Structure 1
Amino acid sequence: MRVIALIAAAGRGTRLGAAVPKAFVRLRGRTLVERSVTAMINSAVVDEIIVLVSPDMESYAREVLATAQLLDAPVPVRLTHGGGERADSVWAGLRTIPDDEAVVLIHDAARALTPPGMIARVTRRVLEGAPAVIPVVPVADTIKQVDGDAVTGTPDRASLRAVQTPQGFLLSGLRAANEAYFASPDPGFVATDDASLMEWHGVPVVTVQGDPMAFKVTTPIDMTLARTITDEAEPTIFEVPSE
């Protein structure tokens, strides 16, 4: 079964405060989207990569990926236009895939340091039969439910997990969930990620172990952390994961 990765890189990422959209911010000389594409290639499980970009960034994105020699990589990489919201982007990407018999990985370009081994772990679980798989890590902080400035509850963090990407799905199931979501919008539901959309559609979602390195670069502090833990001399592409 083919494995196709969709990398969401169409957002503006205003909280990072950069002059360019977040996916094209450089981390030690390489953009976040380059690093995400590289991780997919290095996972050794992906057959095709689709990068979702805004129309006004397509030429620049193509230039960035070509300069990094990622458009000539062992795994085919192509660009397609994303939408105004993340869900719109993913749905646009899914509609460019003709074959329902595939596994699709949905990944945020901003999770640029995601280990290739974690990508492989998610993919293997889908190939083993799970229709929807998400990588998760334990929640370290105490979480409060609030209403305005008043605390209304404290959920048990032992049962809570923070969700990362890539999230893996059988393409046929994710396509069906998107068709239902966009055909008859539910005013009481907003899909915050693809797994929540599958839950809404009645599809069981299972978890695999995530990785601290798969954190999302959202704010300047996140970028500072990423720079601190990134080796300037790290290899670029085509390394087989250790697991």
Structure 2
Amino acid sequence: MRVIALVAAAGRGTRLGASVPKAFVRLRGRSLLERSVAAMINSSVVDEIIVLVSPDMEAYAEEMLGQTGLLDAAVTGVPVQLTLGGGERADSVWAGLRTITDEDAVVLIHDAARALTPPGMIARVARRVLEGAPGVVPVVPVPDTVKQVDGDVVAGTPDRSSLRAVQTPQGFRLRELRAANEAYFAAADPGFTATDDASLLEWQGVPVVTVQGDPMAFKVTTPIDMTLARTITDEAEPTIFEVPGD
């Protein structure tokens, strides 16, 4: 059974405050996208990678990944292709899913902004789907007390012992994920907004199981996140190319 990774890199990432889309911001000489693609390759479980990019960054993404060797399957052993994403993350993932012809494939959906995700965690998610789970999400405990609010008034305090923060990649059997996406995009009013891919399976009543996540799989969203990523990353590589406008 083939494992195909979709790496979402079409978002703008405005909260990071960079002059380029978040996936193309450099972290010690390598963009977040490069690091995410490399992690998929290094997991040794991924057979193909589809990078979802915006139309205005397609040419640059191809040049960047090509110059660093990540598009050379003869070198990496894993073919990488680019596919145009949509306006929202869910649109991008749906566009990527429609390019996959292997109906029996396992699909990993990953955010390029989680650039320091360990390859071992990626493999852990994929293996659980290969063992038969229709949907798998990596999770970590929620360290803070969480409040439910109504406006600016506290409405309740959920028991955090049953709460988990969800990371990516999330893994799925393609058939279940494709069917859930078809139903979601066909519905005039699905009754909710899909904030992650697993929520679509939950909506369809398909079980989603958890595996252990990793603190390194945090999402680079704000300048503080980037500062943290720079602090804990000691891999400094020469910059081969210049980021437009950077």
TM-score (normalizing by structure 1): 0.95
Deviation string, structure 1 residues 144-175 (Cα, Å, up to 9, x no partner): 00011000000000000000000000001000
**Which residue does 1:103 correspond to in 2?**
106
Instruction: For 1:75, give the aligned amino acid.
Output: V
**Which residue does 2:65 correspond to in 1?**
65
Write out the 4+ residue segments of structure 1 that deviate beyond 6 Å after TM superposition: none
Where do 1:139-158 residues align within 5 Å?
A: 139-158=142-161
Alpha-carbon distance in 2 for matches of 1:167, 1:187? 21
CA shift, 1:233, in A, is: 4.4
Alpha-carbon distance in 1 for matches of 2:85, 2:105? 21
Q: What secondary structure is seen at the aligned counterpart in 1 of 2:149?
A: strand
1:9 and 2:12 are equivalent in the alignment: no
Deviation string, structure 1 residues 112-166 (Cα, Å, up to 9, x no partner): 0000000000000000000000000000000000011000000000000000000
Where do 1:131-142 residues align within 5 Å?
A: 131-142=134-145
Deviation string, structure 1 residues 1-35 (Cα, Å, up to 9, x no partner): 00000000000000000000000000000000000
**Which residue does 2:47 correspond to in 1?**
47
Alpha-carbon distance in 2 for matches of 1:132, 1:159? 19
Where do 1:16-95 residues align within 5 Å?
A: 16-72=16-72, 73-95=76-98
CA shift, 1:185, in A, is: 3.6
TM-score (normalizing by structure 2): 0.94
CA shift, 1:176, in A, is: 0.3
CA RMSD, Structure 1 to Structure 2 (Å): 0.8
**Which residue does 2:173 correspond to in 1?**
170
Deviation string, structure 1 residues 180-201 (Cα, Å, up to 9, x no partner): 1111142521100000111001
Alpha-carbon distance in 2 for matches of 1:131, 1:223? 33
Which of residues 218, 226, 232 in structure 1 aligns to 2:229?
226
**Which residue does 1:214 correspond to in 2?**
217
Deviation string, structure 1 residues 76-108 (Cα, Å, up to 9, x no partner): 000000000000000000000011110000000
Instruction: For 1:108, give the aligned amino acid.
Output: D
Q: What secondary structure is seen at the aligned counterpart in 1 of 2:182?
A: helix
Q: What secondary structure is seen at the aligned counterpart in 2 of 1:192?
A: coil
Where do 1:195-210 residues align within 5 Å?
A: 195-210=198-213
Q: What secondary structure is seen at the aligned counterpart in 1 of 2:107?
A: strand
Q: Is the 8 A contact 2:29 2:236 kept in 1?
A: no
Identity across the alignment (%): 85
Instruction: For 1:124, give the aligned amino acid.
Output: R
Alpha-carbon distance in 1 for matches of 2:228, 2:105? 35
Alpha-carbon distance in 2 for matches of 1:78, 1:38? 14
Q: Is the 8 A contact 2:184 2:190 kept in 1?
A: no
Instruction: For 1:59, give the aligned amino acid.
Output: A
Instruction: For 2:42, give the aligned amino acid.
Output: N
Deviation larger for 178-187 or 26-35: 178-187
Alpha-carbon distance in 1 for matches of 2:41, 2:205? 32
**Which residue does 2:241 correspond to in 1?**
none
